[in-house]
Chain A
Amino acid sequence: MSEFILELKGITKTFPGVKALDDVYFKLKPGEIHALMGENGAGKSTFIKVITGVHAPDEGGEMYLDGQPVNFRNPKDAQKAGIAAIYQHVTCYPDLTVTENIFMGHEKIAKGTKRLLWREMHEEAGNLLKELGASFSPKTLMGALSVAEQQIVEIAKALSVNARIIIMDEPTAALTNNESEELYRIAEKLRDQGTSIIFISHRFEDMYRLASKVTVFRDSKYIGTWGVNEISNADLIVAMVGREITQLFPKKEAEIGEELLRVEGLGKTGYFADVSFTLRKGEILGLTGLVGAGRTEVCQAIFGAERADKGKIFYKGQELAVRNPLHAMKQGIGYLPEDRQKQGLVLSWEIGRNITLSSLEKMSKKGHINTRKEWDLAKRLAEKVSVKAKSVFDLASSLSGGNQQKVVFAKLLTADLDILILDEPTKGVDVGAKSAIYEIISDLACSGYGIILVSSEMPEIIGMCDRVAVMREGRITAFMDREGISQEAILRASMADADPQQDQQRWA
């Protein structure tokens, strides 16, 4: 018998063009709660998918269960081996009952007739829920439960297959403190019964409260494993962030002028609350935080793609009720969407037609489009943002990610805008093109645009922004100006209760 219930050695996973995991190690003891930490995109989720058999790792790595080498071909294999995962976004069937959610894929059926044994399943589901301290009936519809309750159902599901290893991917992300406390209690109980738990979380509080070991990944690589008591909070943050800002940011000093936008107490039920900030002419305001903190939702509310329930937006001193994106564009607010292929471009069209798409009325008379004017404008703007293509008649789909993004920029520039909201403008763009995009952003700021830059990439935020607002769980938790920005400070503000000292006082 091995000392470890699960051991991974030198696991690598390559997706076309990307190394999602690079030579990763992991050891899990029976009855241990092991925290797995790292930034967005550090490879944690891919790692989980390898363990649960969703992705097969590349050749060369080894995986041992109870000291025996294993090789999972599909999720079913991992399930049979006693590994269950509770994913970040609860993967449930909202239209079915709790009982069905628990037993989906391993229903109890009568021998011979293959009839489903509803009574037995309801009974066992009820017992599992009772064991976990839940008060709802197993006949409730899953969609009617709160996120915390759904999580309990997911745990019950893991228990119903007698899982020996339970992986929890950010289980507390959507929970309140009291709900998290309930989850901790359940996790501790499971641990005491001998179940091993891999716990992924961005909250230091979770780690200090539960885990005995912590493993850190960074940029798809294994950084190290420590006992939770052996490593200080500061060291842990350094381990997670670690990298130097090596890229060059051509940020020019822009003249910061009068106030363009003021947001007061903006809120939308279930997504964000109490969001207030101002944006000035020539300023680049960073909006950062972990994925799911509500950044995109805030931007879409300002742009009118979503409607906020509460709060006010002032534009150039006047209160503005944004009705829809067209209205926002007419006022002078532009939005560069996060997913350029889906929301920003018509891939099967020429570059030129993409650029002029949102401003056709300027080039048309009585509904008739002046084609020469259209292509002239497209050509001028494409040159301005230096799109690398033979001509504006090339298809947008033929461009690389970075050049596609430049086309989206050019499209924004056709309108008379004062404010640009850029949602992850360099996502999926290679380093060279990134630098070019930063230059465009910097130039735009110099020419008087007010820019809101939404980004998860810290070097980008630190290199480009005049001020930064950090969001966590739907609220702005910190503002920093250029002097006060550091990776550590941003990370601390974007993770809940990062300081365990202060935290213990609160919980005492």
Chain B
Amino acid sequence: MKNRGGQPVVVPAGSPGPTGSGQPAAATKKSLSASIAKFRELGLLAFIVILAVGVQFRNTSFLTWENLNDIATNTAILSILAVGMMLVIITRGIDLSIGATLALSGMIAALTVKEYPGLNPYVAVLLGVGIGIACGAVLGFLVSKINILPIIATLGMMNVFRGLTYEASGGKWVSAHQMPESFKAIATGKVLGINNLIFIAILIYIVAYYFVNHTRTGRQIYAVGSNPESAEVSGIKSGRILWLVYTIMGGLSGLAGVLWVAKFASAQGDTASGYELSVIAACVLGGVSIAGGSGKISGIILGSVLLGILNNALPMIDVSPFWQNWIQGMIILVAVLINAMVKRGIDRNNLMRRRI
């Protein structure tokens, strides 16, 4: 440790060299690994910009207002779900059931407006969110109280929710002509000149940013994921935190369900099947660590946007659908690889500072 505040530092004759000389080196290494960690998000942003410019050269209609608006609208639902998924992953969990929750609440909302066309669309939204919250609360209960592994609990409930969706609809679709215009307008309407979907996503991001950074509960989510045992000793009620994140995830899935059904004007049994994997991918791309404890709102915005751009841009520059999947997969792998390398570098630096 450095000589601080003018205190005399005794250097024992037997110690392996003056430790003061080792300190500055360690300090520079620390700042290096820290800067790599910061660089990660900048790198993602740079990658998005380069990708956008590159695509623009191939197809000049890419960077037009209409197309950008299109990308944003299409990404909105993904990014809303990414918020909930980030919270779940931060607590070292995962939620595979969100596609099914989304389908279930979307289907029930659609069936309801089909039955009562005069219903206020807000009620439909609330209904969807309510069903989502109920689904999430069940999951949270299984994970936090019964101690079932999140991957198992959500895998099981995924099938339960999916089955309920088919049961509720009798295996039939609710299609565009069965839905009142007011319901479909949820996805096409505008607030302050911005599409409702984008507006809702922005609103959720602002609330989520405040929640995870400026409330006690929000920070405790990180604590539970970063070191569960320590959280227990500090008097944090981990069980309630877990229950909360799965419930939030469920609520957001329910909301996304209504938005999805309104946007595509169709509710089907297999709506959003497999969509949970895209959401997880967006989180991972955005730097949320599957090991728990870390993840930033800014990261998942970038992750969702990158996935959204890839979905939009690759078809525009005539990449075949087979290669589109390949490219998306490779980008996710590279992102995870960089994450792992940065983490290993930091761990190693910390070990180097332990002198033996």
Among B1-26, those with CB < 8 Å from A are 1-2, 4-5, 7, 9-15, 19-20, 26
**Are A93 and B226 CB-contacts (below 8 A) given A474-B356, A507-B12?**
yes
CA distance A182 to B5 in the complex (A): 11
Specify which of B34, B351, B355 lies most central, judged by the most chain A CB atoms within 10 Å of its CB.
Answer: B355
Chain B residues with Cβ below 8 Å from A272 are 356
CA distance A455 to B210 in the complex (A): 52
Identify B214's interface contact among A75, A79, A118, A269, CB under 8 A: A118
Are B26 and A146 touching (Cβ within 8 A)?
yes
Chain A residues with Cβ below 8 Å from B172 are none
Among B278-301, those with CB < 8 Å from A are 289, 293-294
CA distance A147 to B353 in the complex (A): 8
**Are A181 and B354 CB-contacts (below 8 A) given A93-B226, A96-B223, A105-B236?**
no
Are A116 and B216 touching (Cβ within 8 A)?
yes
Are B293 and A95 touching (Cβ within 8 A)?
yes
Specify which of A100, A105, A182 lies most central, judged by the most chain B CB atoms within 10 Å of its CB.
Answer: A105
Minimum CB–CB distance for A241 against chain B, Å: 26
Are B356 and A178 touching (Cβ within 8 A)?
no
CA distance A316 to B302 in the complex (A): 57
Q: Is A440 an interface residue (CB 8 A)?
A: no
**Are A105 and B19 CB-contacts (below 8 A) given A135-B2, A272-B356?**
no
**Are A144 and B350 CB-contacts (below 8 A) given A178-B15, A182-B1, A270-B356?**
yes
**Are A270 and B223 CB-contacts (below 8 A) given A91-B230, A185-B7?**
no
Chain B residues with Cβ below 8 Å from A294 are 356
Minimum CB–CB distance for A364 against chain B, Å: 34
Write out, one digit per residue, whether chain B residues 36-60 have a CB within 8 A of any chain A CB (1) or not (0).
0000000000000000000000000
**Are A507 and B230 CB-contacts (below 8 A) given A74-B235, A93-B223, A105-B235?**
no
Are A178 and B9 touching (Cβ within 8 A)?
yes
Chain A residues with Cβ below 8 Å from B352 are 269-270
Q: Is B115 an interface residue (CB 8 A)?
A: no
Chain A residues with Cβ below 8 Å from B34 are 141, 144
Chain-B contact segment, one of A2-10, A107-115, A253-261, A370-378: A107-115
**Are A104 and B223 CB-contacts (below 8 A) given A94-B293, A146-B26?**
yes
Are A92 and B227 touching (Cβ within 8 A)?
yes
Question: Residue of A at shortest CB range from B2?
Answer: A135
Q: Is A246 an interface residue (CB 8 A)?
A: no
Are A95 and B356 touching (Cβ within 8 A)?
no
Write out, one digit per residue, whether chain A residues 133-148 have a CB within 8 A of any chain B CB (1) or not (0).
1110000010111111
Are B354 and A107 touching (Cβ within 8 A)?
no
Minimum CB–CB distance for B224 against chain A, Å: 9
Among B232-290, those with CB < 8 Å from A are 233-236, 289
Are B229 and A506 touching (Cβ within 8 A)?
no
Identify A109's interface contact among B11, B30, B216, CB under 8 A: B216
Are B350 and A177 touching (Cβ within 8 A)?
no
CA distance A230 to B60 in the complex (A): 88
Minimum CB–CB distance for B200 against chain A, Å: 23
Question: Residue of A at shortest CB range from B222?
Answer: A96
**Are A506 and B226 CB-contacts (below 8 A) given A75-B235, A141-B34, A269-B348?**
no
Among B339-356, those with CB < 8 Å from A are 346, 348-356
Minimum CB–CB distance for A437 against chain B, Å: 32
Write out, one digit per residue, whether chain A residues 141-184 have a CB within 8 A of any chain B CB (1) or not (0).
10111111000000000000000000000000010111101100
Write out, one digit per residue, whether chain A residues 345-376 have a CB within 8 A of any chain B CB (1) or not (0).
00000000000000000000000000000000
Q: Is B219 an interface residue (CB 8 A)?
A: yes
Specify which of A107, A134, A178 lies most central, judged by the most chain B CB atoms within 10 Å of its CB.
Answer: A178
- Give chain B's interface residue range (CB within 8 Å of chain A): 35 or more
Specify which of B26, B33, B214, B293 lies most central, judged by the most chain A CB atoms within 10 Å of its CB.
Answer: B214
Are A76 and B12 touching (Cβ within 8 A)?
no
Q: Is A273 an interface residue (CB 8 A)?
A: yes
Chain B residues with Cβ below 8 Å from A473 are 356
Question: Residue of A at shortest CB range from B217?
Answer: A114
CA distance A75 to B289 in the complex (A): 30
Q: Is B215 an interface residue (CB 8 A)?
A: yes
Write out, one digit per residue, whether chain A residues 460-483 have a CB within 8 A of any chain B CB (1) or not (0).
000000000000011100000000
Are A174 and B354 touching (Cβ within 8 A)?
yes
Identify B294's interface contact among A95, A116, A178, A271, CB under 8 A: A95
CA distance A114 to B210 in the complex (A): 11
Q: Is A54 an interface residue (CB 8 A)?
A: yes
Question: Residue of A at shortest CB range from B34?
Answer: A144
Among A66-91, those with CB < 8 Å from B are 74-76, 79, 91
Among A245-278, those with CB < 8 Å from B are 269-273
Minimum CB–CB distance for A372 against chain B, Å: 38
Identify A133's interface contact among B7, B213, B234, B236, CB under 8 A: B7
**Are A146 and B354 CB-contacts (below 8 A) given A92-B230, A96-B222, A179-B19?**
yes
Chain A residues with Cβ below 8 Å from B216 are 107, 109, 114, 116
CA distance A473 to B230 in the complex (A): 25
CA distance A135 to B30 in the complex (A): 14
Chain A residues with Cβ below 8 Å from B353 are 146-147
Minimum CB–CB distance for B199 against chain A, Å: 24
Are A133 and B4 touching (Cβ within 8 A)?
yes
List residues of A whose CB falls within 8 A of some B CB.
Answer: 54, 74-76, 79, 91-96, 100, 104-105, 107, 109, 114-116, 118, 133-135, 141, 143-148, 174, 176-179, 181-182, 185, 269-273, 294, 473-475, 506-507
List residues of B whose CB falls within 8 A of some A CB.
Answer: 1-2, 4-5, 7, 9-15, 19-20, 26, 30, 33-34, 210, 213-216, 219-220, 222-223, 225-227, 229-231, 233-236, 289, 293-294, 346, 348-356
**25 A–B pairs (Cβ distance < 8 Å), ordered by A:** A91-B229, A95-B226, A95-B294, A96-B293, A104-B231, A104-B234, A105-B235, A107-B216, A114-B215, A116-B214, A116-B216, A133-B4, A144-B349, A144-B350, A145-B350, A148-B1, A176-B15, A178-B19, A181-B1, A181-B10, A270-B352, A272-B356, A273-B356, A294-B356, A506-B12
List 10 additional A-B contacts (Cβ < 8 Å) besides A143-B350, A270-B351: A92-B227, A104-B219, A115-B214, A116-B213, A118-B214, A143-B346, A146-B26, A146-B350, A148-B1, A506-B14
